[in-house]
Structure 1
Amino acid sequence: MDVKHTATEQAFTVSVDGHDGELTYARPADGVVDFQHTWVDEALRGRHVGDALAEAALEFAKKEGLRIRTSCSFVAAYVKRHPEWEQLRDAA
């Protein structure tokens, strides 16, 4: 699955079989990324598209040395299921 990051739109996107998924974020402070919303077309649900988006976004945060906030309930649940990402959480 080819997840694309578009920094100018603060989004990670994926397209599979003509259907889309998106994870959006904000940069509320220097060194912090807040994952705000994940959406996956109904036709792709159950195919781990949301997981791929979350993984790509978290890898981006790690590579860039960013602390994470998870306003998005999907990303919050993903981090809970994958505690190796907890170390990136912002204290705020």
Structure 2
Amino acid sequence: MDFTYYPNRIALLDGSGQAIAEITFPDLDGNTVDINHTFVDESLRGQGMAGKLMEAAVDQIQSQGKKAVPTCSYAVKWFEKHPEYNKLVK
């Protein structure tokens, strides 16, 4: 999967540069981000794309030494299903 990485955003872009899947996690402060949005285009649903975005975001957040506050409903449920990442949640 060729995600495009931005500060506080990871996206999968189509051929015209439009995001067809993305996750955003803006800074709340210098040590904490808010996982506040996930989006997956209908054409990609049912393929585990949102989970792949979450894994990429978690990797990026961990590598920066930050904690996360999940406010997006998908992120909240994802963390409930993946307790191995509880140490990342603030």
* Unaligned 5+ runs, structure 2: none
CA contact (8 A) 2:21 2:39 kept: yes
What percentage of residue pairs aligned between the two structures are identical? 28
Aligned-partner Cα distance in 2 for 1:32–1:17: 33
Aligned-partner Cα distance in 1 for 2:78–2:56: 12
TM-score normalised by the chain length of structure 2: 0.88
* Unaligned 5+ runs, structure 1: none
Aligned ranges 1:24-63 → 2 under 5 Å: 24-63=24-63
Aligned-partner Cα distance in 2 for 1:41–1:75: 17
Report the counterpart of residue 65 of structure 2 in structure 1.
Answer: 65
Q: How many equivalent pairs are there?
A: 88
How far did 1:55 drift?
0.4
Relative to 1, partners in 2 of residues 1:21 and 1:66: Cα closer, same or farther, differing over 3 Å?
A: same
CA contact (8 A) 2:32 2:66 kept: yes
Relative to 1, partners in 2 of residues 1:54 and 1:62: Cα closer, same or farther, differing over 3 Å?
A: same
Alignment RMSD (CA, Å): 1.7
List 4+ stretches of structure 1 deviating above 4 A.
Answer: 16-19
Aligned ranges 1:14-25 → 2 under 5 Å: 14-15=12-13, 20-25=20-25
